[in-house]
Homo-oligomer: A and B are copies of this chain.
Amino acid sequence: MPATLIDGKALASQIKAEIAQEVNQLTSEGYRAPHLAAILVGHDGGSETYVRNKVLACEACGFDSTLIRYEDDVTEAELLQRIHQLNQDDSIDGFIVQLPLPRHINEQRVIEAVDPRKDVDGFHPINVGRMAIGLPAFISATPLGILTLLRRYNIATKGKKCVVMGRSNIVGKPMVQLMLQKEGADSTVTCVHSRTQNIAEECRSADILIAALGQPGFVTADMVKPGAVVIDVGTTRVPDASRKNGYRLSGDVDFEAVSEVASAITPVPGGVGPMTICMLMQNTLAAAKKEIYKD
């Protein structure tokens, strides 16, 4: 029996519609709409696409959005000054600085300049730390999107074995914490990575396998326990002459073969990706409602 397709695109649409409905309610009560700002430096193709999709998602949710553009040669001081203004601006509920930034700018300094109360990307160390301790926090969008997929698809997680592949700061590490916490998925969690011996064996122990390595097709059918749930976070651009733009997105999972073994699986594209932007919207709504930080 082929696996259930976990349709992130459809779920993201549904959640955005739920958010739009709530925004509609808020504005009908006299509140202003949530307002997300995005800073985009330079003209990287990937970043342009991500930011455009974020602006479109704001429109779908009934949010206001502001796009602030800088050329590649913007100084760190200019950028920090603008961030300071956004921190002070009461009409902005949350904002993001699209990464990566040009090399002459210290990314960590930029991340730490964002007021944690407006840090809807959840990258500020104080949000990372609060999440780790189990306090209310903005949680970065990809791991939050995966947890939401699991919950909305009623996938049992409590006491289940979860294997997270990868240990990046924005996916692997926070994913480990969310899957581990009692207030999160309450699973037994293993994290495997480039240094892991017997990686296939570790993966085969998983009831829930979350692949975030960025290595196209790494997860083959023999690495998946029959009946496991497989979440594919990989989105590597692979050259493809048959496509108009010259590439296709490839996940970390050999989808065709693994979907014969798994009980449920996310596709790439259309799985985790759409959920990520949707969670940014959810965080922005939470910022507007002051759900995380009360003052």
Which A residues lie at the B interface, using CB under 8 A? 108, 124-130, 132-135, 158-161, 167, 169, 173-174, 176-177, 180-182, 186-193, 195-197, 202
Asked if residues B169 and A134 are in contact (CB atoms below 8 Å), the reply is yes
Asked if residues A173 and B135 are in contact (CB atoms below 8 Å), the reply is no
Chain B nearest CB from A261 CB (Å) reads 21
- In the A-B complex, the 5 residue pairs with the smallest Cβ-Cβ separation, listed nearest first, are A129-B129, A125-B129, A128-B129, A190-B190, A188-B196
A56 CA / B54 CA spacing, docked (Å): 57
A275 CA / B161 CA spacing, docked (Å): 32
Known contacts A125-B130, A126-B126, A173-B180; 4 additional CB pairs below 8 A are A124-B129, A125-B126, A158-B195, A180-B193
Copies of this chain present in the complex amount to 2
Asked if residues B125 and A135 are in contact (CB atoms below 8 Å), the reply is yes
Asked if residues B197 and A192 are in contact (CB atoms below 8 Å), the reply is no
Neighbouring B residues of A195 by C-beta, 8 Å: 158-159, 182, 186-188
Chain B nearest CB from A131 CB (Å) reads 8
Chain B nearest CB from A177 CB (Å) reads 7
A160 CA / B180 CA spacing, docked (Å): 21
A-B contact pairs, 13 of them (CB 8 A): A125-B130, A126-B129, A128-B129, A129-B130, A132-B132, A133-B173, A159-B196, A161-B197, A176-B191, A182-B195, A186-B195, A188-B190, A189-B190
A25 CA / B247 CA spacing, docked (Å): 61
Q: Which among A124, A133, A176, A177 has the highest number of chain B CB atoms within 10 Å?
A: A133
Which residue of the partner chain B has the closest CB to A160? B197
Which residue of the partner chain B has the closest CB to A179? B191
Chain B nearest CB from A227 CB (Å) reads 15
Neighbouring B residues of A173 by C-beta, 8 Å: 132-133, 177, 180
Asked if residues B181 and A188 are in contact (CB atoms below 8 Å), the reply is no
A129 CA / B167 CA spacing, docked (Å): 15
Asked if residues A193 and B188 are in contact (CB atoms below 8 Å), the reply is yes
